[in-house]
Amino acid sequence: MSRVRLTESRIETLEPRKAPYDVRDATLKGFGIRVLPSGSKRYFIHSQHEGRRLWKTVGNADSISLAEARRRATELLAAIRSDAAPILPEEKLFEAVAEEVFSHYSQHWKPGTIKVNRNYLGNTILPRFRGRNIADIGKQDVQRWFASLRATPVAADRSMPILSVIMRQAEIYGYRPEGSNPCVGIRRYRRKGRERFLSWPELRRLGTLLHSHDARHPLPAAFIRLLLLTGCRKDEIRTLQWLDYREGCLFLRDSKTGPRTVWLSSPARAVLNDLPRRGKWLFPSPRSPRPVSSTVFETFWSRVREEAGIADVRLHDLRHTYASIAIMQGETVTTVARLLGHNDAQTTLKYAHLSDTSVREAADALADILGEG
């Protein structure tokens, strides 16, 4: 953060960068100008008062002169230091900035993610920060909010990244000081993992049951097999089109982490090759030109897992099982991360503790499943 004597000519030479940056005035302490990536420039004041850091926008450089901005800044800084409680310009309430962020930043989130994030915003974030000027929210405020969610650690951990995005974007928009994100450095809650891996007997029972359902429920049975044999997420398989299956691979158009390629084993290809081709979808809905509803597969899975004695196993746990088998067969964490479509291999490390005994059991179990059809 540079400090120079601001002049009209110097301000004109300030060029935008990829990230916003501040230039402090060497003449008036607490006064400066922020240059945004868009090229817009905003005068601001930044001061400490009674232990609180105050950040206020004075005005846009294209609407007021430097002399006027410095005059306003001088009055505001004097009023703050004398406890005159001035009416400060361009107060940005947290909820207004949050809505601005959701409107502009949502292009980075998938529709389902936006829906979930809005729920956390409305239920856990806004009740605490609504009505606050976003520039006045400090690290202690965020720490107290996070501590208040101790009884619901999942909600706390999922809400924190959303709040962090709002605060980071507020800096970019010029509503907060540079590098002031109050969420940085706050540690998440430690939660017991929900990962569930199918054991050898469980895999064997599941394979037998899927074989028994093939005649009456061929599509749901194939869906379950593909989850287990590819490690894909539910919607990645449910929304597959035949155009996505070629050259022995699945070319996912829009997975959770973006487009990716899934390399298929011969058993997985056999499952796909046995599916009837009726239209563009692998799992077409009989009532609409869309893929079959996820409810159909959830209902089928609820029945099968009860029959197999694995009532606590979720469909997503088949992905965990796939990953655990790969790790136990000697694949590296980096390789398994690519198989699963993880952007960060750290996400895959939770599978690395599995034992050699389980390797042999799980490998035999998969062979049994494939042998059962």
Transcribe 346-373 into DSSP letters: GGGGGGTT--HHHHHHHHHHHHHHHHT-
Q: What is the pLDDT confidence band of residue 88, given thresholds at 50, 70 and 90?
A: very low
Amino acid at residue number 147: A
Whether 367 has a pLDDT exceeding 80, the answer reads no
Cα(79)–Cα(316) distance, rounded to whole angstroms?
58
Task: Give per-residue pLDDT as tens, 324-359.
Answer: 776 666 656 566 556 666 655 555 555 555 544 454
Q: What is the pLDDT of residues 29-86, one digit of tens each?
A: 989 998 887 788 989 888 876 666 677 888 888 888 999 999 989 988 888 777 654 4
Block residue for tokens 């706050």: 186
Answer yes or no: is pLDDT of 305 > 80. yes
- Say whether pLDDT at 283 is over 90: yes
Closest CA to 89 of 78, 100, 73: 73
What gap in Å lies between CA 185 and CA 44, rounded to an integer?
Answer: 26
Task: Identify the pLDDT of residue 333.
Answer: 59
Mapping DSSP onto H, E and C, the string for 237-272 reads HHCCEHHHEECCEEEEEEECCEEEEEECCHHHHHHH
Q: To the nearest whole number, what is the mean pLDDT of the chain?
A: 82
- Quickly state the pLDDT bin for 261 (edges 50, 70, 90): confident
Whether the pLDDT of residue 316 is over 90: the answer is no
- Asked if the model's pLDDT at residue 138 lies above 60, the reply is yes
Cα–Cα dist 75/83, whole Å: 12
Q: Tell me how far CA of residue 13 lies from CA of 9, 39, 41, 66, in angstroms.
A: 7, 11, 11, 14
pLDDT tier, 89 (very low <50, low <70, confident <90, very high otherwise): very low
* Residue pair 226/275 in contact by the 8 Å Cβ criterion: no
DSSP states along 8-73 = HHHHHHPPP-SS-EEEEESSSTTEEEEE-TTS-EEEEEEEEETTEEEEEEEEETTTS-HHHHHHHH
pLDDT at 95 over 60: yes
Question: What is the model's pLDDT at position 87?
Answer: 44
Q: What is the pLDDT of residue 357?
A: 47
Q: Residue 44 pairs with which residues in a beta bridge?
A: 32, 57
What's the token pair of residue 13? 């030479």
Under the banding of pLDDT at 50, 70 and 90, the label for residue 303 is very high
For residue 369 the two structure tokens come to: 């499943």
The percentage of residues in the chain with a pLDDT greater than 90, rounded to a whole number, is 35
Angle between helices 356-371 and 218-230 (to 10 degrees): 150
Residues 246-260, mean pLDDT to the nearest whole number: 79
**If we measure between CA atoms, which residue out of 318, 292, 323 comes closest to residue 305?**
318
Ordered structural domains, the chain, with CATH: 2-81 (3.30.160.390), 94-173 (1.10.150), 200-371 (1.10.443.10)
Q: Are strands 2-4 and 21-25 parallel, antiparallel or unpaired?
A: parallel
Render pLDDT for 192-221 as a digit per residue (tens, 0 to 9). Answer: 556 677 887 888 899 999 999 999 999 999
